[in-house]
Amino acid sequence: MKIGDLKAMLQSRGLAPSHRLGQNFLVDPALLEAIPRDAGVKPGERVLEVGPGAGALTESLLAAGAKLLAVELDHGLADYLRERFATELESGQFQLVEGDALGPHETFHSQVESWWVDGPAPRLVANLPYAISGPFLGRLVGRPQLGATLLLQREVAEKAAFQGGAKNAGPLPIRLGLFFHVKMGRRLPPEVFWPRPKISSAFLHLEPRADAPSASIDASLKAILQLGFGQRRKALLSRLRKVHPLAAEALSDAGVDSTARPEVVPAALWLAAAEADSMGRSSFSEA
């Protein structure tokens, strides 16, 4: 859809891009054609799209043969998508859920979860609304079976991929790296969107890791990381010993200095600390 056609469609329906919802529509035809190919979408493969907007990427994914489930929060755009893809809806190639991808269980998950887990794992391909990119990445952790190609703010993608070294270390990037092989994709200028954002964007590719942590270890990992990064300026081990003594001991045994800050601890050592903490909690519950 050309920019003029997009503007006319929105105007005819009394709609406008929502800054609150982070709506910036992809309008570059060559890019839209390339995304399904870059994401490795195959005919018949199940794909989840979050924030389809006016359906430009939706159209490309359907043209690539994807069996698509899209989640759209904007009621006006959801109505438009039902009209635009009426044929695909009728055939079953396209399903649309009107709701919030970050909403409570009963609104989003009750409609999407059964599709998500019923059969081969889908692939997530989305021009993710800027307003939800960070929280949504957090939702992906714990789902190592789900591969994803996401278009995000460049700084969010760089942080998730540890571009920039220790300064980008944090609970989410560390957990993402333990559940997925994380790789930056192509960078995009503001000109490929309408309205043009004030920042650049980039693709983030997530491929499931076969050695991803178990749910119990991830629970310990999440708690340890939140405590560790909660007060970055204070010594890490002394704070950990008060709540997670086995985790602190594991880090100390691995050579982490008593004055170390959390951002200098490698992800593998955080995982070892979480394994020790999880094992200790399990032994305590069995006693």
pLDDT digits (tens, 9 = 90+) for 238-256: 999 999 999 999 999 999 9
Report the DSSP beta bridge partners of residue 207: 181
Whole-prediction pTM value? 0.90
Q: Does domain 3-208 bear CATH number 3.40.50.150? A: yes
Q: How confident is the model at residue 118 (pLDDT cuts 50, 70, 90)?
A: low
Decide: 136 and 130 in contact? Cβ < 8 Å.
no
On the question of pLDDT at 108 being above 50, the answer is: yes
Pick the CATH number of 215-280 from 1.10.8.100, 1.10.10.10, 1.10.287.3510, 1.10.150.20: 1.10.8.100
- C-alpha–C-alpha distance, residues 103 and 57, integer Å: 23
Decide: 192 and 145 in contact? Cβ < 8 Å.
no
Write the pLDDT tens digit of every residue in 202-247: 999 999 999 999 999 999 999 999 999 988 788 899 999 999 999 9
User: What pLDDT does residue 287 have?
Assistant: 43
On the question of pLDDT at 113 being above 70, the answer is: no
Decide: 236 and 177 in contact? Cβ < 8 Å.
no
72-88: b (≥16 Cβ within 10 Å) or e: bbbeebbebbeebbeeb
Mean pLDDT of the residues in the chain: 89
Write the pLDDT tens digit of every residue in 48-101: 999 999 999 999 999 999 999 999 999 999 999 999 999 999 999 999 999 888
Half-sphere exposure of 240 (CA within 13 A, CB side): 32
Decide: 14 and 80 in contact? Cβ < 8 Å.
no
Please give the structure tokens belonging to residue 37: 């190919």
- What values do phi and psi take at 8, rounded to 5? -65, -40
Decide: 56 and 26 in contact? Cβ < 8 Å.
yes
- C-alpha–C-alpha distance, residues 183 and 67, integer Å: 25
Domain boundaries, the chain: 3-208, 215-280
User: What pLDDT does residue 121 have?
Assistant: 78
